[in-house]
Amino acid sequence: MRSFAYVARDDRGERVKGLLEAIDQDALIESLTRRGYTVTSVLERSETPGYSAALNWLLKVDRRELIDLYLSIGTMLKSGIPLTVSLIDVAASSDNPRVASALTAVSRRIEAGSTLSAALRSQPIVFPSLACDLIEAAESIGRLDEVFLRLASYADRDMQTMDQIKSALQYPAFVFAAAVAVVVATLVFVLPNFAAVFGRMDAELPLPTRVILQAGDWIHTYMNALLLGVAGLGITTLWLSGKEAVAARLEDARMKIPAVGRLERHLAIGRFARTLGLLLSGGVPILQALPTSARVTGNRRMRAAIEAAAESIRQGSTLTESLAASGQFPRPVMRIIEVGEKTSRLDDLLQTLSDQFDRQILYKVKRLTTFLEVTMIIGVGGLVALIAFALLMPMAAVLDLL
């Protein structure tokens, strides 16, 4: 028997969560259906959750493939082609075996009587919870084609924002890597030649020259140990970042850096606004939309604030009051959300808000990369000048003696 975590809705429409053992997922769904539940999510519980999470990360589908997938299914549904036929055709045309296998499994579950959202939730590596929640809300009103096309637009916009950020950071990263390589090459390969020349001199070498030569000799001697140490440090950092306590402290440290912290906060708010606006426009209830919107922010404090807001709303508070109590959202953002609630245009205003934050994020990234470029140029130039000065000082002293 295998253990499964499930999410379902009872005959009153209320969410029910739990753990059950069954032979497989189909047997679990059948058992819950007999009890009167409508299953919306089933995930097998792994004995090694860290390994499972890492495996899911390695096997996740590229965002470009998801965009093509959403567009293909949405276009076929809009043309009047049945859902199962659309899924099978898209699976047959996919170059990714994981996508094809997932779509085939979803099609079989639907033919066996499962809902589309429940079938999609059984393939978490391919279909994120955002898509499942939106599709679950659209199933009852028959807007699946529109939802798939909206998902494609949402994923495309998010991918463009992240690609622009990565593109802006590539040049400073390249300059930094090139600078480190040049300095290390100078210390390891160039300095030994100068050391041989200085060794034939009877004059005492200046302190800067001795320091530079000793540094180069130390790096040359322990090069293999240094490389292993850097690799070990990288692996250890990645492992520790997967620990909740360490990751939370690293996040708190990043948020205290003025430029980086503000950029991360704006990125989280933009994702929250775009996701919540998409879910609300798709008919997802706000209490169901908020947890999903919290998960996509990528920021623990923001996620905790949004989840706490959902609890406050459940107790009778408004969204504005609940989010304002957390102190995580700027006043202009709260003002826009308040207007959206009062005018019943919250979904539209949230989309406008996300567009505004996308523009601000790109502007801040450009300013940050410009600052990094200037800083690295000055730093590398100063280091190269220091090395050159240290090497030329004894040569100048010898020439003075001649």
Q: Which residues pair with 123 in a beta bridge?
A: none
DSSP letter at 9 equals: E
DSSP letter at 60 equals: P
- The pLDDT of residue 365 is 83
CB-based contact 351:280 (threshold 8 Å): no
Dist. CA 60–CA 100, nearest whole Å: 13
49-127 CATH pick, 1.20.81.30, 1.10.357.140, 3.40.50.460, 3.40.50.300: 1.20.81.30
Residue 62's H or E segment, with its range, is: none
Dist. CA 25–CA 121, nearest whole Å: 11
- The pLDDT of residue 72 is 92
Domain ranges of the chain: 1-45, 49-127, 154-402
- Give the residue from 322, 278, 275, 327 showing the smallest Cα distance to 301: 327
Sign of the alpha-carbon torsion through 10, 311, 351, 99: negative
Extract the residue ranges of the chain whose pLDDT is less than 70: 1-3, 12-13, 18-24, 44-60, 140-141, 195, 198-203, 241-242, 244, 397-402
- Secondary structure (DSSP) of 64-124: HHHHHHHHHHHHHHHTT--HHHHHHHHHHH-S-HHHHHHHHHHHHHHHTT--HHHHHHT-T
- The pLDDT of residue 75 is 92
- Identical fold, 49-127 and 154-402: yes
CA distances from residue 49 to 46, 55, 62 in whole angstroms, order as listed: 6, 10, 22
Fold of 154-402: Receptor-associated Protein (1.20.81)
Dist. CA 396–CA 121, nearest whole Å: 74
CB-based contact 283:260 (threshold 8 Å): no
